[in-house]
Amino acid sequence: MNFKTGYLEELMQRVIARNRGEVEFHQAVREVLESIEPVLIKNPRYIGKGIVESLVEPERVIKFRVPWVDDMGRIQVNRGFRVQFSSAIGPYKGGLRFHPSVYEGIVKFLGFEQIFKNSLTGLPIGGAKGGSDFDPKGKSEGEVMRFCQSFMTELSKHIGSNTDIPAGDIGVGVREIGFLFGQYKRIRNGFTGVLTGKGLNYGGSLVRTEATGYGLCYFTEEMLKERGESFCGKRVSISGSGNVAIYAAQKAIELGAKVITMSDSDGFIYDEEGIDLELVKRIKEIRRGRILEYADMCTDAVYVPDCCKIWEVPCDIALPCATQNEINKHSAELLVSNGCFAVAEGANMPSDPDAIEYFLSNGVLFGPAKAANAGGVATSALEMTQNSMRYSWNFEKVDAMLKDIMVNIYQSSSRAAAEYGMKGNLVAGANIAGFIKVADAMLSHGVV
C-alpha cells in the first residue's frame, strides 16, 4: 500500500535511511504509518507538532558488551541492547529477548510495537524492549547465570522501578528473570519491582506465566463472537512450544477446542486426536527438550522436520505463537484454502504484510499481535501494581482483570476501526487506538 500524503512517504524514507538494514523495524513503522494516515489527515496538529517524527525515533538506545566465562573457563562476549522507545504515558516497559538473531533492528521493531500495545492496555506504561544475541539453548545453568549477571551489571545503570521495568520474551523465562533480579538486587542494594515475570515467592504475580496465551484466547473469543462463533469444537493450529504457545493451547482446550499442532524452530508435531499438553509441558518446561520427542512418546502424532510447513495442516483457527514473519502470503493462502477463518497473533509480527493483506481481503477474522498478545504486558503492569502495594492478589482476581483488559482492547480496536471507516480491520483499529493516547500525551508535554 502506498501513502496518500507525501509527508508520510518522506518520513518513511527518512526512517529507512536513518536505520539502515533494520528491515523488521521498517516493516513495523510502515504498518503503523499506513494505519494512522486518516488520523493525521483529520487532526493535522499531530503533523504540525512533529509527533510522528518524534515517535519513530527512540528516546534512548543503549548498546553494551556482555562478557562472561563459560564452563570451560573461556571468555565469551555477547552484545546487549535496551531500546527505551517512549515514556510518554508511563515508565518504559517491555521484555528482554535472548536469541542469536537479536540485533538492533529486532529490538527497535519490538520496542516500537510495544508503545502502541502498552497504550492499548489502558494502563500507564511506556514502550521499550531489550535483549542479547546470547543463545541460552544448550548452555548449562551456571553459564546462563553468569551471562545474566554480566548483562544486568550494565543494564542496572539504566533501569529502575519508576524508570524502566523489563520482563521476559523469547529465551527469557522465570529462570533468567530470577538471575537478573538477584544481580540487580545485589548491585543496587534494594528490593524493588524492577522486573516483571518474577517467581511467585519473591514478588511475581499469579497468572503472569499464563497471561499472554490466556489473553490471546480471551481476545480471540471476542473476535469469534462477532461472527457468532466460539472455540468450541474447533481445530486450532498453534506454532511454537514456548511460554505463549503452551498457555494459549491450555486456554483454547479449556474453551472446548482441539489443538492439533505445536512446533519449535526444528519442526512441528501434528496430532489429529488433539495434543497432550501435559506431555508437551514435561518435554519443554521441565526437561527443556525438543518438540520432536513428543512424536517418540506419542505414536498417534506425526513429526515434520520443517517448522514452516505447519500452516499446510488444515485448521479452523490459527494462533502463530513462535516468532516474527513466520506466515507469508503462501502460508496465508494455504490456511484460507484449507478452511481457516480466524487468525490471532500470539507472537510479535508473525504475519508478514502480504499475509495480513491476504487475510483481510479474504474475510478472515484477524487479531494483530499488538492487540491480541497484550495480555502479557498488561499482567506485568498488574504485577507492578501489586509490588507497589506490597500485596498479592489471588489467581481468580488477576485472571478476571486480564479478561476485562482483553475485552476492552478488542472493543477499543474495533471502535477505532469503525470510526475511521475501516470496520472489522483490527490492524488499523489497534494502531489508531494505541497511537491517539500516546500522541495526545506527547502534545501535552511539549517538545521534549
Contacts to ligand NDP by CB under 6 A: 168-171, 173, 212, 240-245, 264-266, 307, 321-323, 346-348, 373, 376
129 catalytic? Reply is yes
B/e letters for 60-98, b = 16+ CB within 10 Å, e = fewer, are eebebebebeeeeeeebebebbbbbbbbbbbbbbbbbbb
Q: How far is the CB of 38 from ligand NDP (least distance, A)?
A: 27
Please say whether the beta carbons of 261 and 340 come within 8 A: no
Q: How far is the CB of 75 from ligand NDP (least distance, A)?
A: 25
Kindly tell me which of 5 and 140 has the beta carbon lying closer to ligand NDP: 140
Kindly tell me which of 39 and 263 has the beta carbon lying closer to ligand NDP: 263
What does DSSP say about strands 164-167 and 92-98: parallel, antiparallel, or unpaired? Answer: parallel
Q: Crossing angle of helices 375-389/208-225, nearest 10°?
A: 130
For residue 101, how many other CB atoms are within 10 A of its CB? Answer: 13
Kindly tell me which of 292 and 336 has the beta carbon lying closer to ligand NDP: 292
Q: Which three cell numbers stand for residue 427?
A: 490492524
Rounded to 10 degrees, the C-alpha dihedral 402/404/407/409 comes to -70
Please say whether the beta carbons of 147 and 78 come within 8 A: yes
Kindly tell me which of 19 and 373 has the beta carbon lying closer to ligand NDP: 373
Alpha-carbon distance of 349 to 245, in angstroms, equals 15
Residue with cell 504509518: 33
State the amino acid at position 122 in one-letter form.
G
Q: How far is the CB of 44 from ligand NDP (least distance, A)?
A: 34
Catalytic residue, from 129, 139, 234, 258: name it. 129
Kindly tell me which of 51 and 197 has the beta carbon lying closer to ligand NDP: 197
Please say whether the beta carbons of 196 and 380 come within 8 A: yes
Q: How far is the CB of 240 from ligand NDP (least distance, A)?
A: 4
| Cα→Cα distances 48→52, 85, 235, Å | 10, 21, 49
Q: How far is the CB of 448 from ligand NDP (least distance, A)?
A: 28
How remote is the C-alpha of 239 from its chain's centroid?
A: 14
Q: How far is the CB of 349 from ligand NDP (least distance, A)?
A: 8
Q: Which three cell numbers stand for residue 164?
A: 524502566
Q: How far is the CB of 173 from ligand NDP (least distance, A)?
A: 6
CA atoms within a 13 Å half-sphere pointing along the CA-CB vector of 250:
19
| Cα→Cα distances 103→121, 135, 152, 291, Å | 27, 13, 18, 27
Closest alpha carbon to 221 in 232, 209, 233: 232
Kindly tell me which of 82 and 439 has the beta carbon lying closer to ligand NDP: 82
Kindly tell me which of 105 and 376 has the beta carbon lying closer to ligand NDP: 376
Reduced to 3 states, what is the DSSP secondary structure of residue 237?
Answer: strand
Residues classed as catalytic: 129
